[in-house]
Structure 1
Amino acid sequence: MASPALLVPGVAWSARSRLTLTPLAGRLSLITGGAANIVVASAGNELLLVDGGAAADAAQLSKLLAAHFPKHRLRAVINTHWHWAQSGFNAAARKAGADVLAHEYTKLWLSTEVNSRWEGRVYKPQPAASLPNKTFYSGPQSLPFGGGAVEYVHLGQAHTDGDVYVRFPEENIIVAADIVSPTKYPIVDSASNGWLGGMQGALRTIAARCDANTKVIPAVGAPVGVDAVKSQQDMCYSVVSRIGENYYKGGTFDELLASKPTKEFDSRYGDPALFLKQSYETAWYHVNEIRRVAR
């Protein structure tokens, strides 16, 4: 997800965007310069997108794809979650005859009004033509593509409650979107059931699918390796454990802040204010689980 200062999609965002395509590995390319990273896979005469950026950039994205892949048709878009920076191309994709794949909760959030208090905005329900048309609820999913298979798997409650990672086994690339945040504290979206313990578990799951050569694609920024994933996992584990201990002793949020629970991580991830507020508030609903969070 883009920073809170840039959270109103439209002309203002589009004016900032200059989408560029860079080869990633094999049949994969990375599109940057918009609201969030987009991964495009090409095989035969077909394209597959993982996330589609902001709606304001949909026309620009269509032109970019046509320029680089003039004889390809868009087969599918996989939404890693519901946020506008990932799902803004859905309507264009559906209009072009492509499928939009997502977890059922992603479709739920897109189809209902969402009051995102931490952003100070309300998201209106999206029209039916913008919704995922192929969803799943549980179990690993596999999409045949280019003679192989693309995996996409639900990660539970983490950044949101509908997050999936997408894995391209042949290229050894995992698209993790907003689960992985290498240089800033991650967003734990309280509006759609995110929680820090779940994010830690999601990072553990992703790390287990990596080897030393795996590239992991975050929502924002350059690809990273497994070490960055494990570092963020360790940070999440430490912070959620400290939040839990503060709850168990009856401490207040101000007392948690006074204990500086992120002090050894701030040099890497920056200002923890929003992260701690979101993590503290959402952890309340999981207070009985915190001591069972596995490292």
Structure 2
Amino acid sequence: MYVLRHSYLPLALLLAASAAAQPNFEEQIAVTEVTSQQLGEGLHVLFGVGGAIAASIGDQGVLIVDDQFPGMVPKIRAKVRELGGGDIDFAINTHFHFDHADGNLVLGPEGTWLVSQENSREKLTGDNVINLVNQTIDQPAYPDDALPSITFERHMRFHFNGEPIDLLHFGPAHTEGDAAVVFRGHNAVHMGDVFNNAGYPFIDADNGGSLAGIIAFCQGVLEEIDANTVVVPGHGAIADSAALEDYVSMLSTIHDRIAALITSGASLEQVVAARPTAEWDEERGDPASFLNRSYTSMTR
């Protein structure tokens, strides 16, 4: 569906857009300003078009988690400077999807060190198709200078701006290459799209994602944090560990209901008709894509 490299909406909005009535992607990027929320001294969350960005700003420089779109990078850079930072030294991709990683196309050539889980880098080296159910998005391979040059398998640690920053991977979840980023000194974690606080999660079942994997990944993160941890989702409002626990409980219940239906021989249409998400639909929205991708991931 997409042709121009920069013509994107954040994934949460793409899920809500019909193929027959797509908004003007460039226009949204052009009119959206970056806002910020402070989590602590030197740590902020930036909101624009695409995934939420965590920004560590201090004496050693600037490290961000996710970088949205090329058209948003000048606005991100301006907000970082407003908050007391300079050039962006490191940009971590929580996964390979365009609304979190396309800023690489600007930052990489400018000299920012790009970081990701190994599987995400591998995905970025080739052409990808993201199936949103109501439409598909073709994400072209990134050029060499926009690829992460630092990768990890399960765990790596930065010592930056006075705190340890842990990058953790607990197996395929939203995609096959997700990373959670834990700011130990601030007791905060960026979850990427493994935790969607703006609706049901999108499961990229064609690129390694699964409902069971999202649950397991979140459980792994919960073992690394505590009751006072600030939890930054890929999309939606900043939350806490209790909200993440509720999210896991919801997804686990839905998973068990779908699994029981599949065991009984139910088709996707029958699973949708059984409404296994009913009590959360008012808060989370239309479950159609979520159920489709969950069912797909559970029947492969």
Q: TM-score, normalised by structure 1?
A: 0.89
SS of match in other structure, 1:126? coil
Q: TM-score, normalised by structure 2?
A: 0.88
| 1:260 counterpart letter in structure 2 | R
Q: 1:185 is matched with which residue? A: 200
Q: 2:223 is matched with which residue? A: 208
RMSD: 2.0
Aligned 8 A contact 1:90 1:131 in 2:
yes
| Structure 2 residue corresponding to 1:101, chosen from 110, 115, 120 | 115
SS of match in other structure, 2:171? coil
| 1:162 counterpart letter in structure 2 | G
Matching of residue 74 in structure 1 with residue 73 in structure 2: no
Q: 2:295 is matched with which residue? A: 280
Unmatched runs of 5 consecutive residues or more in structure 1: 286-295
Q: 1:228 is matched with which residue? A: 243
Aligned 8 A contact 1:104 1:136 in 2:
yes
Name whichever of 186-195 and 113-122 sits farther off: 113-122
User: Which whole-Å CA distance do the structure 2 matches of 1:2 and 1:16 have between them?
Assistant: 18
| Structure 2 residue corresponding to 1:263, chosen from 235, 256, 278 | 278
Matching of residue 32 in structure 1 with residue 47 in structure 2: yes
User: Which whole-Å CA distance do the structure 1 matches of 2:24 and 2:82 have between them?
Assistant: 25
Q: 1:289 is matched with which residue? A: none
Aligned 8 A contact 2:45 2:53 in 1:
yes
Q: How far apart are 1:149 and its partner, in Å? A: 1.5
Matching of residue 2 in structure 1 with residue 16 in structure 2: no
Q: Give the paired residue count.
A: 283
| 1:115 counterpart letter in structure 2 | V
Q: 1:293 is matched with which residue? A: none
User: Which whole-Å CA distance do the structure 1 matches of 2:26 and 2:268 have between them?
Assistant: 38
Q: 2:126 is matched with which residue? A: 112
| Structure 2 residue corresponding to 1:166, chosen from 159, 177, 181 | 181
Q: How far apart are 1:92 and its partner, in Å? A: 2.6
| 1:272 counterpart letter in structure 2 | P
Q: How far apart are 1:252 and its partner, in Å? A: 1.2
Aligned 8 A contact 2:157 2:165 in 1:
yes
Aligned 8 A contact 1:9 1:84 in 2:
no
| Structure 1 residue corresponding to 2:155, chosen from 119, 124, 140 | 140
| Structure 2 residue corresponding to 1:156, chosen from 162, 166, 171 | 171
Q: Deviations over 1:1-51 (max 9, x none)?
A: 332139999623312421123322122011113222111101214000011
User: Which whole-Å CA distance do the structure 2 matches of 1:54 and 1:79 have between them?
Assistant: 12
User: Which whole-Å CA distance do the structure 2 matches of 1:18 and 1:27 have between them?
Assistant: 21
| 2:196 counterpart letter in structure 1 | S
User: Which whole-Å CA distance do the structure 1 matches of 2:13 and 2:110 have between them?
Assistant: 30
Q: 1:288 is matched with which residue? A: none
Q: How far apart are 1:261 and its partner, in Å? A: 0.9
User: Which whole-Å CA distance do the structure 1 matches of 2:142 and 2:24 have between them?
Assistant: 14
